[in-house]
Amino acid sequence: MKKALFAGAVCLLLPTIGLAGEYNLTVDRVEIDTGDFVKQGIGYNGKSPGPVMRFKEGENVSINVTNNLNETTSIHWHGIILPFDQDGVPGISFPGIAPGETFTYNFPITQAGTYWFHSHSGFQEPDGAYGSIVIEPDGREPFRYDRDYVVQLTDKHPDSSERVMRNLKVMSDYYNREQQTVGEFFSDAAENGLMNTVKDRMAWGDMRMMKADVEDLQGFTGLINGKGPKQNWTGIFEPGERIRLRFINSSAMTYFDIRIPGLNMTVVQADGNNVQPVNVDEFRIGVAETYDVIVRPKDEQAYTIFAESMGRTGYARATLATEKGMEAAVPGLREPARLTMADMGGMTGMSGMNHGGMGKGDMMGSGTMSGMDHGAMKDMDHSAMKDMDQSAMKDMDQSAMKDMAGMDHSKMANMDHGSMMMPEGGASDPFYAQGSGLIPTAANGGKFLSYADLKAQKPLYEEREPTREIELRLTGNMERYIWSINDVKYEDADPIRLKYGERVRFKFVNETMMTHPMHLHGMWSILDVGAGQWNPIKHTVSVQPGTTVYVETEVDAPGQWAFHCHLSYHMAAGMFRKIIVEGGPESNQAGSGEHSDAIGGDA
């Protein structure tokens, strides 16, 4: 990657001409050594992860990407606002980059912050084809720090991604090492009674899922900047300095809970957009998200950056220290998270999961509680029984029950499962189902970041009423490893058509028991955290099991775009849509699937 220096010099002489930088990336077969195992993978400029691409807001970049693989490749600039034909999704933005070909991306940089890039072809990204992007703002940063580091996470699996997908398809719990055991069955039975335990297991079996399905891919080694826990990536600091850490989760499948024992973190940016600073002890980073935090170690000692997977089956580890070789204690993994019935995703979740005897038609058509299959209802409650407080049960009001039939999923999650399942004095977070087994708590008992804490530092858009709402149910069948939207997988689905200039409200209803990081290309997702004009803007929004999340999008980018769950194997299994933006400035409209010659012109 070399930047043409003369371009900078020219700009000093002729400040009216925008900055222009030329960059080179090669896509190569590489060897990846995690410290636990060595495997073949794909990288950029001979390495995985690829380089940190440093751009400046206002610059026009020209990036030559040479494909040294024997298969087609592509690079998607994740979170970057650019013309759709530069977005790098084969089949949607462009045809892809053929073996031996050099493709030149050209686009203006109109934003600042921390982003990343990755291949959008096959399983190249989980195989190592990713890197980071740091964009310096045109003006000053609204915060101060003495140094900054990219902290890019991934979950490296010893199996090739193709093989992982095959195994998941054949046996969805192939990589589930946290399955409940016969021993646990007997201890549960001792605590909760044999019948309740049997019914609980049967209910979960009916849903084609198991309580331990927090992570469907286990057995990975967590890497930070390409280094495994033993290899211990280390960032150097002087005591008293403020350090900006740019966390990027480039994992295929893994959510991480991140903490630095001994240090408070101030979150200043999420998904490249500045947020009002919030002090936290720990935060969860979804797949494809970024969070920038500022820390200020005052002592001459080492601090461990500890990133524990959401399901507690693995971790990544790095160190901040005053000199190389210093290290601090590495915490142990906490108890594995277990899904509760609250994570089940509501009644339609059961239909989405092909719950026995309760088809979608039963739900949609009935409109009243009596139309529902009460046998199925009963199954649902069993695991709740052990925690269920009878008074809470009585408090369930009938009008709320009608809401269930009226398909208001968010109320359902809060109402029925919440009142049945709320553990005593448990943690709460409005972005998780009440009583969810996934609600995170800080290891030190302090503050754990919630989406509800994220407020835009400077709103990008005027607040206005959305022009319409589009409901997207996130659906799946775990056993067959089919993941879909509105029960239809990508290859069978029509594109979602949006109109240029409208503001769409997307209603995500997660009817599965897995968390889905939903990523819209090309346009921002304004996450509704109830803060009105201060709602934060993101490129990837996590939707937790059993919850409904609203995001709004100002449809301001013509063309056609990808929209999908960013878990690699869910995306590949069909949780994906093409979005077509109709109308808009003449020159940028989406063609009828044809690509202009100009796209590959420099190749």
Partner 1 sequence: MVSSKFVIAAFAMSMSAAALGAGTHGDEHGHGAKNGEPGKASDANRAVTVEMHDNYYEPDAIEVKPGETVRFVIKNKGSLVHEFNIGTPAMHESHQKEMMKMVQHGVIQGGKLNRDMMEMDMGDGTSMKHDDPNSVLLEPGESKEVIWKFSEKGDIEFACNVPGHYQSGMYGKVNFN
Using CB under 8 A, list all residues that contact partner 1: 140, 142-145, 242, 264, 266, 268, 276-279, 294, 296, 455, 457-458, 534
Rounded Cα–Cα distance for residues 292 and 81 (Å): 19
The secondary structure of residue 369, as a DSSP letter, is G
Cβ neighbours for 236, distance < 8 A, ≥ 6 positions apart: 320, 321, 322, 323, 324
Smallest distance, partner 1 to C-beta of residue 279, A: 5
- Rg, C-alpha atoms of the chain: 24
143 versus 461: smaller Cβ distance to partner 1: 143
Smallest distance, partner 1 to C-beta of residue 263, A: 11
Rounded Cα–Cα distance for residues 372 and 487 (Å): 20
Residue type, 566: H
Are 248 and 132 in contact by the 8 Å Cβ rule? The answer is yes
How many helical (H) and strand (E) elements, i.e. helices and strands, does the chain have? Answer: 12, 30
Cβ neighbours for 140, distance < 8 A, ≥ 6 positions apart: none
63 versus 151: smaller Cβ distance to partner 1: 151
User: What is the 3-state secondary structure of 190-206?
Assistant: HHHCHHHHHHHHHHHHH
243 versus 509: smaller Cβ distance to partner 1: 243
Are 528 and 452 in contact by the 8 Å Cβ rule? The answer is no
Smallest distance, partner 1 to C-beta of residue 269, A: 10
Rounded Cα–Cα distance for residues 143 and 279 (Å): 14
Are 293 and 305 in contact by the 8 Å Cβ rule? The answer is no
268 versus 543: smaller Cβ distance to partner 1: 268
* Nearest C-alpha neighbor of 545 from the set 570, 571, 508, 574: 508
Rounded Cα–Cα distance for residues 345 and 225 (Å): 35
Smallest distance, partner 1 to C-beta of residue 278, A: 5
Smallest distance, partner 1 to C-beta of residue 296, A: 7
Smallest distance, partner 1 to C-beta of residue 297, A: 12
217 versus 278: smaller Cβ distance to partner 1: 278
274 versus 414: smaller Cβ distance to partner 1: 274
138 versus 403: smaller Cβ distance to partner 1: 138
Strand order in the sheet with 303-309: 233-236, 315-321, 303-309, 256-259, 283-285
Smallest distance, partner 1 to C-beta of residue 458, A: 7
275 versus 420: smaller Cβ distance to partner 1: 275
Please, where are the H alpha helices in 323-386?
346-352, 360-366, 374-385
* Nearest C-alpha neighbor of 89 from the set 601, 583, 546, 519: 519
Smallest distance, partner 1 to C-beta of residue 527, A: 17
Smallest distance, partner 1 to C-beta of residue 262, A: 15
Smallest distance, partner 1 to C-beta of residue 459, A: 9
296 versus 507: smaller Cβ distance to partner 1: 296
Residue type, 94: F
Rounded Cα–Cα distance for residues 546 and 410 (Å): 8
294 versus 562: smaller Cβ distance to partner 1: 294
